[in-house]
């Protein structure tokens, strides 16, 4: 009948189920302020909290703090909770402070004393740490897969359009010849740098913090090596204080990696918006990727890419938000850290959505041929002409002056073709080498 008392306490109008509850009612205004939207955000962590609890229960059984039957029943109940999460049936009612209290409540209702023992040798601090680390590991894996898919599509477009010339710009002024092959593969190779950033973030979060308790370890003879292997972490965050200090640092490092991906997407989207405008007219977008105007019937607006640009620019602010929340905190746990989820979790979903829509859209970008037939692009080839003069034996500065004089008196004749041979140039894009580089980074 012990579990009935526990359930009654959870349902009484004077209390909310809190793991730190001592029987003293919490003022509702304070409760609302301190809990915030954690219940909603914690739904993301529910599966990982159950996974962490499974490993913890098995470890408690191994060291004799749970009987074999208690361990088996706890693991079974937690696996059922995971199934409910995956089916979308898991909820965190207002009577619970967070995911940890809801899961402990469910275990206690079903198993009685065995459920009450699940919190032995741990704190909510290392619970949320392990939840977040496990969640971020999965997030990084998913982001890497999406980035790789986008890379492959960009490389396909680079190969398909590698011989279609395109104006290159500096200062938004016509500068030198480029190509669609160079443009697409430039962004593809930049995505490799983003993968490197994500790999660095993965290295940081792939360390087990479970067992650090409130940040200073436990007097129980727990086996942290066991839970490290059980949860699939690469290594253990050995020092308990260091484990606690990883809260905030892990989120910030991932935020910087996400910001790197977002910067690539935002710049590419800006190019798309420019290139499809009538003033450039380098590419076209099909109707399903554009929107119209309420008063201008001719309009075809690149809203999809404008929203990618805007959302990704917002994501690039996230590392600095996390920095400002955490940079003056001393060691140990502080409630400020709760605020990190509110910025990071929605940003993760936004970045995934931006990658999805970029993957969906990029294959439908229509490249236009013969762009350089327009005479305003003749000056793109001044450098190529100058270089040919230098190869023929004319000193560079004299060749420069000679071409400048031709431009001034209107006698410059544009070759409108390229003969670039070095690695990474228009006529030697090194697409195979870029693919090899991604394979090594991934």
% of the chain residues with pLDDT over 90: 82
Q: Is 91 exposed, middle or buried (0-12, 13-18, 19+ CB in 10 A)?
A: exposed
pLDDT in tens, 246-268: 999 999 999 999 999 999 999 99
pLDDT in tens, 12-42: 333 455 554 555 555 656 556 555 677 888 9
pLDDT in tens, 130-152: 999 999 999 999 999 999 999 99
C-alpha neighbours within 13 Å on the C-beta side of residue 441: 24
Largest CA distance in the chain: 100
Q: In CATH, what is the architecture of 125-219+238-372?
A: Up-down Bundle (1.20)
Going by pLDDT thresholds of 50, 70 and 90, the confidence category of residue 405 is very high
Q: Strand 366-367 vs strand 207-208: parallel, antiparallel, or unpaired?
A: unpaired
% of the chain residues with pLDDT over 70: 92
- Taking residue 110's Cβ as centre, other Cβ atoms within 10 Å add up to 16
How many angstroms separate the CA atoms of 26 and 4, rounded? 22
* Domains of the chain by residue range: 2-120, 125-219+238-372
pTM: 0.89
Going by pLDDT thresholds of 50, 70 and 90, the confidence category of residue 58 is very high
Q: List, as one string, the DSSP characters of 403-417.
A: HHHHHHHT-------
**Answer CATH for 2-120 from 3.20.20.390, 3.30.70.260, 2.30.110.10, 1.10.275.10:** 1.10.275.10
How many angstroms separate the CA atoms of 42 and 128, rounded? 9
How many angstroms separate the CA atoms of 182 and 162, rounded? 7
Q: Is the pLDDT of residue 115 over 80?
A: yes
H or E element in which residue 169 lies: strand 165-170
Going by pLDDT thresholds of 50, 70 and 90, the confidence category of residue 371 is very high
Sign of CA pseudo-dihedral 81, 86, 89, 93? positive
Average pLDDT (196-216) is 96
pLDDT in tens, 87-97: 999 999 988 98
Check residue 25 and report its DSSP letter: P
How many angstroms separate the CA atoms of 361 and 89, rounded? 33
């Amino acid at each position: 009948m012990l579990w009935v008392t526990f359930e009654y306490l959870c349902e009484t109008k004077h209390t909310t189920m809190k793991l730190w509850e001592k029987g003293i009612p919490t003022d509702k205004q304070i409760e609302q302020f301190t809990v915030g939207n954690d219940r909603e955000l914690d739904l993301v962590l529910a599966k990982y909290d159950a996974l962490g609890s499974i490993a913890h229960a098995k470890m408690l059984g191994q060291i004799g703090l749970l009987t074999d039957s208690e361990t088996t029943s706890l693991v079974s109940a937690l696996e059922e909770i995971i199934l409910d999460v995956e089916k979308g049936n898991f909820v965190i009612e207002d009577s619970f402070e967070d995911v940890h209290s809801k899961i402990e409540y469910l275990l206690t209702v079903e198993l009685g004393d065995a459920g009450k023992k699940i919190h032995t040798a741990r704190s909510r601090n290392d619970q949320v740490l392990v939840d977040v680390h496990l969640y971020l590991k999965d997030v990084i894996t998913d982001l890497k897969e999406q980035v790789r898919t986008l890379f492959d599509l960009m490389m396909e477009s680079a190969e398909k359009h590698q011989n279609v010339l395109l104006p290159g710009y500096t200062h938004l002024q016509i500068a030198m010849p480029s190509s669609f092959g160079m443009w697409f593969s430039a962004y593809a190779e930049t995505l490799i740098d983003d993968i490197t950033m994500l790999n660095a973030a993965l290295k940081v979060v792939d360390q087990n913090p479970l067992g650090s308790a409130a940040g200073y370890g436990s007097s129980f003879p727990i086996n942290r090596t066991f839970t490290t292997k059980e949860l699939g972490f690469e290594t253990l965050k050995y020092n308990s204080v260091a484990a606690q200090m990883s809260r905030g640092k892990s989120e910030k490092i991932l935020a910087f990696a996400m910001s790197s991906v977002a910067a690539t997407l935002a710049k590419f989207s800006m190019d798309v918006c420019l290139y499809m405008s009538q003033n450039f007219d380098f590419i076209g977008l099909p109707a399903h990727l554009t929107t119209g105007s309420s008063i201008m019937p001719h309009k075809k607006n690149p809203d999809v890419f404008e929203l990618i640009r805007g959302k990704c620019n917002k994501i690039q602010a996230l590392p600095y938000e996390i920095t400002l929340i955490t940079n003056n905190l001393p060691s140990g746990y502080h409630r400020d850290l709760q605020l990190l989820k509110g910025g990071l979790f929605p940003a993760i979903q936004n970045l995934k959505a931006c990658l999805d829509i970029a993957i969906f859209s990029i294959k439908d970008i229509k490249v236009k041929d013969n762009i350089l037939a327009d005479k305003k692009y003749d000056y793109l080839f001044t450098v190529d002409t100058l270089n040919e003069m230098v190869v023929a034996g004319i000193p560079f500065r004299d060749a420069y002056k000679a071409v400048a004089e031709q431009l001034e008196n209107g006698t410059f004749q544009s070759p409108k073709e390229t003969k670039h041979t070095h690695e990474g140039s228009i006529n030697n894009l090194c697409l195979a080498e870029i693919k090899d580089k991604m394979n090594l980074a991934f």
